[in-house]
Amino acid sequence: MTRFDLLSLQMLLFVAETGSVSKAAEKSNLTVSAVSKRLLELEAQLGVVLFDRLPQGVRLTPAGSAAVQRINEVMPIFGKLQVDLQAYVKGDAGIVHIASNTSGIAAGLARELESFKAQYPQVDLRLEELTSAHVIEAVAEGRADLGICAASAPLSSLASSPYHATPLVLAVPADHPLTGRGSVTYQESLAYPHIGRTQDSALAWLPPGTEAAPVSPSISTLVTSFAAVLALVRAGTGVAVIPIVALKNDSLGGIQIVELSDAWMTMELIVVFDPLRVLPPAVSRVRAHLVASTDKARIGGF
């Protein structure tokens, strides 16, 4: 299949328009010899004579007229292609895969992606909800471009930027002894069985065995979702530490929320990405949007 050089085709149009190689050269900011060389190469490539060379310029041959007609049909398509691809170059179009833990989605990610989509409708945002450990795994393996997870999660070789922060609170059954307390310490909550998240969840990384939490909680049950945690609290199985952003007003029947007074009882969220990968423009634009929306204040605090 013959491969055509777009600049040579454009030179042919300029010569047809002006009737002169020198004027075509002037219009294209090339030398006369450069334009002549391109036209001769194009004729050799096509195997036809495109112009009659006259003392006062050039005149299209029938083959040249047919070539110009087809070139005029296809050149606007190439122009539109350039415009379309420019949107990808600038980050105004593309596909961005995002993995986030539940807290990240509730803390503002859903709202921020909606506002981004309003600004850049040609960017296809694909969101997957995962635990923090699996968010890091997805970004490290290239299955996600960006991730939202707890800052306490082991990042391996990934880089991160601060995102939102949300208080952790204690959910207790409505008839629990701690109901009615304005606040309690984490240490006080350890007197009661805890309902925990599975080991790949951010809440599995509360720091037991440290000065902040010298004793590990007695975990009576491990579940994978906040909905399951709240259902078990409501049933009286135990108490649970959860981010306040994970709560919905219509899900608190039979449950009381007690503030945890420990200074460290905050879930810090981060945006993670692979620093060894050159991020596509659309991914960089989404990351900048999320980082710019970072709220240093506690989200949903008391």
pLDDT in tens, 181-226: 889 998 898 889 888 776 666 665 555 444 445 445 555 566 777 8
pLDDT at 298: 44
If you count them, how many residues does the chain have? 302
Contact assessment for residue 15 and residue 9, using Cβ atoms and an 8 Å cutoff: no
pLDDT at 128: 95
- The token pair that represents 170 in the structure block: 């204690």
**Pairing relationship of beta strands 146-150 and 94-100 according to DSSP bridges:** parallel
pLDDT at 113: 94
Contact assessment for residue 64 and residue 109, using Cβ atoms and an 8 Å cutoff: no
Contact assessment for residue 202 and residue 152, using Cβ atoms and an 8 Å cutoff: yes
Residue 134: name the closest of 126, 144, 119, 125 by CA.
Answer: 144
pLDDT at 296: 45
For the chain, what percentages of helix, strand and coil (3-state, to nearest 5) are there? 40, 25, 35
pTM of the entire structure? 0.66
Pick left, alpha or beta for residue 218 (phi over 0 → left; psi -120 to 50 → alpha; otherwise beta). beta
Q: What is the pLDDT along the chain (302 residues), one digit of tens a residue?
A: 667 788 888 888 998 899 888 998 888 888 999 988 998 998 898 889 998 888 888 889 999 899 999 999 888 888 887 777 777 778 888 999 999 998 898 888 989 999 999 999 999 999 999 988 899 999 999 999 999 998 888 888 999 999 998 888 999 999 999 988 889 998 898 889 888 776 666 665 555 444 445 445 555 566 777 888 888 899 998 998 888 887 765 567 888 999 998 888 888 899 999 999 999 999 999 999 999 887 544 445 54
Q: For the chain, first and last CA: distance in Å?
A: 70
